[in-house]
Amino acid sequence: GAVVSQHPSWVICKSGTSVKIECRSLDFQATTMFWYRQFPKQSLMLMATSNEGSKATYEQGVEKDKFLINHASLTLSTLTVTSAHPEDSSFYICSARDSQGLAREQYFGPGTRLTVT
Amino acid sequence: GEDVEQSLFLSVREGDSSVINCTYTDSSSTYLYWYKQEPGAGLQLLTYIFSNMDMKQDQRLTVLLNKKDKHLSLRIADTQTGDSAIYFCADYGQNFVFGPGTRLSVLP
């Protein structure tokens, strides 16, 4: 089956530093990937849609200069949280849409837990 | 924007059936999904139903869809302690929209 991995699975960083999270589709190509954020005991909120070779589309209220997204290949998208602050602590989940599949088929990664101290 | 609602908590005894309910507002939803999330983990797709179907059964899981009322339910038969998790309803129109999640607690 389609597998999406995320790295790292958890990270602790100091306030003011930047953190990069990778999302990889392991056995399929994904022209489109999605980044979600989940606060404790809350649902997933779509942050941005990442398209291979073009700029990401950010949801309203998401700062594009703070959450940098790069989708340089058909199997990798990265989310960089710049100048992280404690309020950025959250669970970040990516999903990938199979380029050869249907638009409704998205596969989710296991998530990355970010803690900013 | 589109909205998906769920009750936040459900407790059942082991062996009983669990029914988790969900309502949505998107008239253009084509598929509706149920995901399971265990503590500290990502999302696991349990099942999904096409919007022109009324029911789908998959082993212990039964999904009922009332498209007129925009109501979706997930029934878990013979609920086990391993079913304790958060269950998310999601609808797919143009993008995925997730409900707040229902925390299912299974009591021994």
pLDDT tens-digit profile of A88-114?
Answer: 999 999 999 887 777 667 889 999 999
pLDDT, tens digit (0-9, with 9 covering 90-100), for B57-80:
999 999 999 999 999 999 999 999
* Whether B101 and A42 lie within 8 Å, measured CB to CB: yes
Closest C-alpha among B6, B2, B47 to residue B23: B6
Of B42, B45, B101, the CB nearest to A43: B101
The Cα–Cα gap between A90 and A4 comes to 19
Provide mean pLDDT across the span B82-89.
96
Angle at A68 between CA B40 and CA B93, to 5 degrees: 65
Could you list the beta-strand ranges (E) of chain B: 4-6, 9-13, 18-24, 31-37, 43-50, 55-58, 61-66, 71-76, 85-92, 96-98, 102-107
* Whether A93 and B43 lie within 8 Å, measured CB to CB: yes
Round the CA-based radius of gyration of chain A to a whole number and report it. 13
Closest C-alpha among A104, A101, A98 to residue A3: A98
For position A1, what pLDDT does the model report? Answer: 67
The Cα–Cα gap between A60 and A109 comes to 23
Chain A residues with beta carbon closer than 8 angstroms to that of B101: 42-43
The Cα–Cα gap between A89 and A4 comes to 22
* Whether A111 and B41 lie within 8 Å, measured CB to CB: yes
pLDDT, tens digit (0-9, with 9 covering 90-100), for A4-31:
999 999 999 999 999 999 999 998 999 8
For position A85, what pLDDT does the model report? Answer: 96
For position A26, what pLDDT does the model report? Answer: 93
Residue A48 near residue A33, CB atoms below 8 Å: no
Chain B residues with beta carbon closer than 8 angstroms to that of A104: 30-31, 48, 92
Residue B9 near residue B103, CB atoms below 8 Å: yes
**Of residues B71 and B94, which shows the higher confidence score?**
B71
The Cα–Cα gap between A45 and B98 comes to 8
Q: Which residue of A has its CA nearest to B32?
A: A104
For position B66, what pLDDT does the model report? Answer: 95
- CB under 8 Å to B102, separation ≥6 — which residues? B6, B7, B8, B9, B10, B20, B86, B87, B88, B89
Chain B residues with beta carbon closer than 8 angstroms to that of A45: 98
Residue B89 near residue B33, CB atoms below 8 Å: yes
| C-alpha to C-alpha distances, A102 to A67, A105, B31, B54, nearest whole angstrom | 28, 5, 12, 22
pLDDT, tens digit (0-9, with 9 covering 90-100), for B11-56:
999 999 999 999 999 888 888 999 999 988 888 889 999 988 999 9
Q: Chain A interface, mutation test: which of B43, B51, B102, most A Cβ atoms within 10 Å?
A: B43
